[in-house]
Each structure stands twice: as C-alpha cells, then as structure tokens.
Chain A
Amino acid sequence: MLSIKNLHASVEGKEILKGINLEIKPGEVHAIMGPNGSGKSTLSQVLAGNEAYEVTSGEIQFNGKDLFELETEERAREGIFLAFQYPVEIPGVSNLQFLRTAVNAMRKHRGEPEMNAAEFMKTAREVSKQVDLNPEFLKRGVNEGFSGGEKKRNEVMQALLLEPKLAILDETDSGLDIDALKVAADGVNALRSEDRAILMVTHYQRLLNYIVPDHVHVLAGGRIIKSGGRELALELEEKGYGWLGIKDDDAQVAG
C-alpha cells in the first residue's frame, strides 16, 4: 500500500529525514518510535503533503501512485489521513460544517452521492459517541476552545468518519490521561481492518499497550535504525533509547 524509498526531507533548509525506507501493507499497524527531534513528525507531515516541508530526494508510492504528484487534498481523497499532533483552530467554522464538507469532498472524489445534512448529522452523532465526545461538540467551532484531550479525540473521530486507507496518528497519545487514552485507543482499534493500514508515531510505548502494533520501527537522526515486532517496543521501554546508542534530552524517555 505504502512504499517509502530513501526519503530525504528538510525544513527551512535543515535536513531532517536522511533516507527513510518503509513498506506498509493493508491491514498492518506500524508504530514509529523515537526521541524528540528524530524526525517522526516530519515523516507524517511529508506523507500528508505539508508544503512547509521540502522533499529533497527519494520516492513514495501509495497504492501504485506517486505521492509527490498529488496535492495535499488529493492525497486526502486517495485515503491518507493525518491526525494532527497540534490540531488547528478554525474560529466560526463548526465541526459539523467542516466535517460534512470534508466527507462530501471524499464522496465526490469516489463518485458517490453527497450526504445531506440530516443524514450526516446522524452518522456524526454516532461516531462522536464512539470517542466519548458529547455530540454538542459538533456544533462548536473546529477545535475552538477544546481541551487538549478533546482535540485529540476529535481527531480520532474524524478518522472514523472519513474512513481512510492509511491513518497516520501523530502523537495522538500526548496530553491524554489514562481514561482518555483508552477511549482514543478504542477508537483507533475500531479503525483496524483488513484493507486499512495504521501508522502510529509516538515517543512513548504507553499507547502500544492499547493499540498493539504488528511492526515497530525506531527512528533516530532521520533514519530508521531498528525494526522489529511488538517486543521491540517493550525492550525499548525497559532499556530506554540509550540502549540503541541514541541520545535523548528527554529524561522520561520510554517511560
């Protein structure tokens, strides 16, 4: 489904990704772990097509298409979803309006009829309950005045609504208390299916207790330095990033 070859990318002239290789197949759940500044978020932003990040070399194929040929919104319509680490506020635009516009843009792309307001409202209410968000949230401005946890659950709710092929979750666990984490994880687990892949980006392995990955990759200095199964995350937690010879400024590394 997703094939990344020798990806190099930079921000404001500084190279962050220095040759990433990664293969993801439908139905798989991958976790990318790494210390702060290792390039985790850069990778997810590049996949989603944020123009602030410059790809300097390499290639990415997504379901047989060259990702770099696609605009941000085209990637989204092809099924790439990014749950933002820092969800953006859009004052005055209601969640409902925002999501319906997005869902209908996707449906139009797939040649499906648009959803009318009533239909959409019904679906949205159900999904919002799934992530334990009061449906009243749908009427509020996009992320406007939401708490950190609400913003993150809102992101997961959007993933559920938009039914992507590849869901990238950028630090979706950060800022969540344990109960909120469980709710968010339940939401993500509900996303799991045979034809859908999930890419989780996280600093800590805490999230992986609830969303068990098939593959774990350790990212450091802009490269994947080690890959393995679920046990790699546990080993990392036990031994810390230092175990792999990685420097990490963050004292609480890996829990």
Chain B
Amino acid sequence: MANTDRQVNELIKREYEHGFVTDIEADTFEPGLNEDVIRRLSAIKNEPEFMLEWRLKAYRRWLEMDEPDWAHVDFPKVDYNAISYYSAPKKKEDMLQSLDEVDPELLKTYEKLGIPLHERAKLAGVAVDAVFDSVSVATTFKEPLEKAGVIFCPISEAVHKHPELVKKYLGSVVPVGDNYFAALNSAVFSDGSFVYIPKGVRCPMELSTYFRINAANTGQFERTLIIADDDSYVSYLEGCTAPMRDENQLHAAVVELVVLDNAQIKYSTVQNWYPGDEEGKGGIYNFVTKRAACIGNNSKVSWTQVETGSAITWKYPSCVLRGDNSVGEFYSVALTHNFQQADTGTKMIHLGKNTSSTIISKGISAGRSSNAYRGLVKFGPGAESARNFTQCDSLLIGDRCAAHTFPYIESQNKTAIVEHEATTSKVSDEQMFLCRQRGIDAEQAVSMIVNGFCKEVFKELPMEFAVEAGKLLEVSLEGSVG
C-alpha cells in the first residue's frame, strides 16, 4: 500500500551525526602523486629502505594498471593528482609516550565520536588505536597488552620495532599488484594498525581501531596487518567516520589477516563514513581490499560488517582457506539510502580439505540507492569435502532503489558441496499493519522489521557494537519509510 511506502520514506531522512570538522593545524602535502611524494612520505615516517622500495614497486605497478570497472557502481573518474596523500596534526613528530601529550582538540574529537581515549574514561575492555587522517594519534591499554605479549601499535611503529614480522607478512595476503586500489594503498599508505598475537595467547581484550578522516581533499590510505600465531585468538573492531563535505573523498584501505594453526580472528567493522547528502553530493569513496589467509590447519576467520556509510562502497572481505579444516565466515549488513551505491560481498576460496564457509548477507536499499552483493565461492581440486552455505537476502524500501545479487560459484571437487540461496522482498504491508494494530508506530515498526531482517548478522557482533549497529541502522533509515 502506497501509504506504507510514504511512511518508510519519511522515516529515512537521515542526519549524519559525525559530520563535524576538527579545527586543528595540520601538516598536509600538496595534492599530487609521483615518486617524490612517496619518497617524502617514507622520509617523514623515517622508514627503513625496504619500505621505500616496497612502496615504489607498488607505485610502478599501479601506474600500469587500470581502474576496475566491473563493479555495479557509477561515479566520475577520480583525479589522483588532486588528492593530498598525507595530512597529520602538527606537534606529532615522534611516537607518543603518553596520552597526556595528545592534543586536547584531538581528545575532544574522539570524545565527541564516543571514543574516549583517556585512561579514566576509556571504553572498558577495549583497546583503541585512534587514527586521525594519515597518522595514529593514540593507542590505549598498551601496557596490559604488552604483558600478555600482544603487539598492538600503529603500523608505522611496527615497521621500526618489528621489521621482521612486517617484512614477512606485509603484502603476503594482498600482494602489491593485487588490484588497482591495493596497489595505490601499498604505494602511499600512511598509517594503520598492526597486531601480533603470539602462540597460545588469547588476547585479553577487544582491540579496535577508530579511523577518522578530517582534512579536506585528502585521501585516507590505511593499512592493517593482523597476525594470529598458532593457537591464538583475537577479536578486532574497526569504526570509521568523516566530516560532511561537498567533495568526494577517497579512502582506499588494505587489511591483511594471517591466521596460523588453530588460531582465530574475529574482525568486525562498523563503517559509517560520510555517505553524502540527500542529493548525493559529497561522501566517501570507500574502496577497500580485505583478505584473510587461513594458512594454518583448523584456523578460522569471521568477517562481520555493518556498512551504512560511504557514497560508494567497493569491498569484498575474503578468506583464502588453505589450511585443512579451516573456516571462513562472512556476515554482512549493508544499508544504502539516498544516492549511495554499494557493491560488496566476499570471496571464499577453498583450497584445503574439509574447509567450510558461511556467508550471510543482508542488503537493505532505500531511496535511490543501489546495493549489490557480489561473491565468489570457489572449490579447488584439493578441497576435499569442503562446504559452503550462502544466504543473500535483499530488502527494498521504496520503488526507486535497486538490489542486485551476483554470486559466482565454481567447483572443481566432486566431494565439495555448495548451497546458495537468495531472496528479495520488501517490508510487507501486512507486517506493517500487524505492528500498527498492536499500537507500534510506523517508524518503530520499520526499524523493528529491518532489525529483525539483520538479526543473524547482528548476533555475530560483540555485544556493545551490536547495540550500536542497531541504532546506526535506525538513524540511517530515518525518512526512508516508503
């Protein structure tokens, strides 16, 4: 009934909560990209020679590559020379020893974002690495983590302190020439988080990185590397926001996970980059490569993502299941509204015996947005008795949005079994009538129904983030009841 549609639409008039700008003096490179820029970047970070070489190699590969055009997204060409590749708050020459030295403006910024960094106020049980534009500005709970043997630090610091680990694993999962955006990231990445969980250690707390883009006309190119050694476990979360600006901004991150024997990484993302305004102006281009190498036997990776932000999302957190009995999971909620475009999904590459994977994808499209699931499930000849189950559901809110499903399924092993199901539906008039007959107003009804639709994914998130994700969805859906 048209009336339900109108209600849903009214509900989705979103207010972006994190759209403020922090007024802070910054060192920012002039826009432009060439080998000199990369040399300067590497020099500012005082990087060892091997890093510079690595970056230059990536840059040269990137020059030979073409921007991918296969995703179901549409945007004007990015001018890579109009972007600044480095921006950092001033006074931050060396690594910080104490949070007291962090610029109070920055602390206020994170406070406002709900991520207090001070010891007395910080989130209980969650260690935070706060990345502001191109640099990490603070990392909490360093000591208790060190005691447990866990390394959790900005990657720029890891390059100096743990070069052997960086050399061994950086680019081992996502090679420099893997794809256009990964090559660009490899050439110009500025900071990000580094995690190493030693053998047999269960990380005593949740680790998280909070990414904030602040400066205008800059790109953010962070790089995350997490290594879970034999028999270890870590749960890692990332959150992202950016100011409201009329120009599009580029975010091209690379995340590499290395999982050894019997180890497990749980990686959760709540992505809320600025999505652009109601007319589709502005917003972040979120072009991200995330991949896990389940090298070890019995290793496991769970990707859970709640994607509500960004003007354009291009992102396929993947698992290469090399170790026997390794397990890959992908739980995703992607919500698009107004003119947002998302092309997201996963790749599960089964190489080892008895490997198994689960994909649960929930896409919600509202307004004039476009939301695509794109996924690959592949069983190599050695994937004896491998299994995959995929469920992709799309929910449409309003008659001018689009929902797509592009699953690729390839099998070369007769004992492997894959099951794939997909459905598309809308919030039904009957459901709305039932809720309203019970006294629940339309707005609450839609939010309840959408939350119910996403339940299988939310239950995979750590508790406090699940609540946040639910709220985020509510905010993002405002004005969409249609």
Name A residues whose Cβ lies closer than 8 Å to a Cβ of B: 48-52, 71-73, 75-77, 81-82, 84, 87-93, 97-99, 101-102, 105-106, 109, 141-142, 158, 162
Would you call A98 and B442 a contact (CB within 8 A)?
no
Would you call A93 and B439 a contact (CB within 8 A)?
no
Would you call A102 and B438 a contact (CB within 8 A)?
yes
Interface size, B (range):
20 to 34
- List A contacts of B434 (CB < 8 A): 84, 87-88, 90, 142
8 contacts between A and B (CB under 8 A): A51-B1, A73-B437, A92-B454, A97-B448, A99-B438, A102-B438, A102-B440, A105-B440
Complex alpha-carbon distance, A158 and B433, angstroms? 15
B429 at the A/B interface (Cβ < 8 Å)? yes
B145 at the A/B interface (Cβ < 8 Å)? no
Question: Which of B428, B431, B439, B452 is in CB contact (< 8 Å) with A105?
Answer: B439
Chain B, residues 435-452, CB within 8 Å of chain A (1/0): the string is 111111110100011011
B453 at the A/B interface (Cβ < 8 Å)? yes
B456 at the A/B interface (Cβ < 8 Å)? yes
Question: Which of A90, A106, A141 is in CB contact (< 8 Å) with B439?
Answer: A106
B455 at the A/B interface (Cβ < 8 Å)? yes
Asked if A105 meets B444 with Cβ closer than 8 Å, knowing A72-B437, A82-B437, A162-B438, the reply is yes
Complex alpha-carbon distance, A72 and B434, angstroms? 10
Complex alpha-carbon distance, A91 and B450, angstroms? 10
Q: Which 6 A-B pairs have the closest CB atoms?
A: A92-B452, A93-B452, A92-B455, A76-B439, A102-B438, A72-B436
Question: Which of A72, A88, A93 is in CB contact (< 8 Å) with B430?
Answer: A88
Asked if A73 meets B431 with Cβ closer than 8 Å, knowing A51-B3, A92-B451, the reply is no
Would you call A109 and B439 a contact (CB within 8 A)?
yes
Asked if A71 meets B436 with Cβ closer than 8 Å, knowing A90-B431, A92-B451, the reply is yes
Complex alpha-carbon distance, A71 and B436, angstroms? 9
With both beta carbons as reference points, the residue of chain B lying nearest to A77 in the complex is identified as B439
Complex alpha-carbon distance, A101 and B431, angstroms? 15
- List A contacts of B451 (CB < 8 A): 92-93
With both beta carbons as reference points, the residue of chain B lying nearest to A52 in the complex is identified as B1
With both beta carbons as reference points, the residue of chain B lying nearest to A106 in the complex is identified as B439
Question: Which of A82, A90, A99, A105 is in CB contact (< 8 Å) with B449?
Answer: A90
Chain B, residues 403-424, CB within 8 Å of chain A (1/0): the string is 0000000000000000000000
Complex alpha-carbon distance, A109 and B455, angstroms? 28
Complex alpha-carbon distance, A125 and B327, angstroms? 39
With both beta carbons as reference points, the residue of chain A lying nearest to B2 in the complex is identified as A51
Would you call B448 and A50 a contact (CB within 8 A)?
no
Would you call B441 and A105 a contact (CB within 8 A)?
yes
Asked if A73 meets B1 with Cβ closer than 8 Å, knowing A90-B434, A101-B448, the reply is no
The B interface, classified by DSSP as helix, strand, loop or mixed, is helix
Q: Shortest distance in angstroms between A214's beta carbon and chain B's nearest beta carbon?
A: 25
Complex alpha-carbon distance, A88 and B453, angstroms? 15
- List B contacts of A50 (CB < 8 A): 433
Would you call B439 and A91 a contact (CB within 8 A)?
no
- Which residues of B in the span 282-331 have a Cβ within 8 Å of any Cβ on A? none
- List B contacts of A158 (CB < 8 A): 438
Q: Shortest distance in angstroms between B12's beta carbon and chain A's nearest beta carbon?
A: 19
Chain B, residues 1-41, CB within 8 Å of chain A (1/0): the string is 10110000000000000000000000000000000000000
Q: Shortest distance in angstroms between A152's beta carbon and chain B's nearest beta carbon?
A: 14
Q: Shortest distance in angstroms between B69's beta carbon and chain A's nearest beta carbon?
A: 36
Complex alpha-carbon distance, A87 and B437, angstroms? 12
- List A contacts of B449 (CB < 8 A): 90, 93
Asked if A92 meets B453 with Cβ closer than 8 Å, knowing A52-B429, A72-B433, A98-B448, the reply is yes
Complex alpha-carbon distance, A105 and B428, angstroms? 21
Question: Which of B435, B440, B456 is in CB contact (< 8 Å) with A92?
Answer: B456
- List A contacts of B439 (CB < 8 A): 73, 76-77, 102, 105-106, 109, 162
- List A contacts of B1 (CB < 8 A): 51-52
Would you call A73 and B429 a contact (CB within 8 A)?
no
Q: Shortest distance in angstroms between B292's beta carbon and chain A's nearest beta carbon?
A: 27
- List B contacts of A81 (CB < 8 A): 437
Complex alpha-carbon distance, A141 and B449, angstroms? 11
Complex alpha-carbon distance, A97 and B4, angstroms? 22
Would you call A101 and B440 a contact (CB within 8 A)?
yes
- List B contacts of A97 (CB < 8 A): 448
- List A contacts of B435 (CB < 8 A): 90, 98, 102
Asked if A101 meets B436 with Cβ closer than 8 Å, knowing A92-B454, A93-B449, the reply is no
Complex alpha-carbon distance, A240 and B429, angstroms? 36
- List A contacts of B455 (CB < 8 A): 92-93
Complex alpha-carbon distance, A145 and B448, angstroms? 19
- List A contacts of B448 (CB < 8 A): 90, 93, 97-98, 101
Would you call B436 and A91 a contact (CB within 8 A)?
no
With both beta carbons as reference points, the residue of chain B lying nearest to A84 in the complex is identified as B434
Q: Shortest distance in angstroms between A72's beta carbon and chain B's nearest beta carbon?
A: 4
Would you call A73 and B441 a contact (CB within 8 A)?
yes
With both beta carbons as reference points, the residue of chain B lying nearest to A75 in the complex is identified as B437
Question: Which of B3, B4, B429, B452 is in CB contact (< 8 Å) with A90?
Answer: B452
Question: Which of A51, A89, A98 is in CB contact (< 8 Å) with B438?
Answer: A98
With both beta carbons as reference points, the residue of chain B lying nearest to A80 in the complex is identified as B437
Chain B, residues 444-482, CB within 8 Å of chain A (1/0): the string is 100011011111100000000000000000000000000
- List A contacts of B431 (CB < 8 A): 88-90
Known: A88-B430, A93-B451, A97-B448. 17 other contacts (CB 8 A): A49-B436, A51-B429, A72-B436, A76-B436, A84-B434, A88-B431, A88-B434, A90-B431, A90-B448, A92-B454, A93-B452, A93-B455, A101-B440, A102-B438, A105-B441, A142-B434, A162-B438
Q: Shortest distance in angstroms between A163's beta carbon and chain B's nearest beta carbon?
A: 11
Complex alpha-carbon distance, A88 and B445, angstroms? 13
- List B contacts of A105 (CB < 8 A): 438-441, 444
With both beta carbons as reference points, the residue of chain A lying nearest to B1 in the complex is identified as A51
- List B contacts of A99 (CB < 8 A): 438
- List B contacts of A73 (CB < 8 A): 436-437, 439-442
With both beta carbons as reference points, the residue of chain B lying nearest to A86 in the complex is identified as B430
Q: Shortest distance in angstroms between B426's beta carbon and chain A's nearest beta carbon?
A: 13
With both beta carbons as reference points, the residue of chain A lying nearest to B453 in the complex is identified as A92
Complex alpha-carbon distance, A50 and B284, angstroms? 42
- Which residues of B in the span 153-170 have a Cβ within 8 Å of any Cβ on A? none
- List B contacts of A51 (CB < 8 A): 1, 3-4, 429, 433
Complex alpha-carbon distance, A92 and B429, angstroms? 17
Q: Shortest distance in angstroms between A173's beta carbon and chain B's nearest beta carbon?
A: 20
Would you call A48 and B437 a contact (CB within 8 A)?
yes
Complex alpha-carbon distance, A82 and B430, angstroms? 13
Would you call A91 and B452 a contact (CB within 8 A)?
yes
- List B contacts of A77 (CB < 8 A): 439
Complex alpha-carbon distance, A93 and B438, angstroms? 14
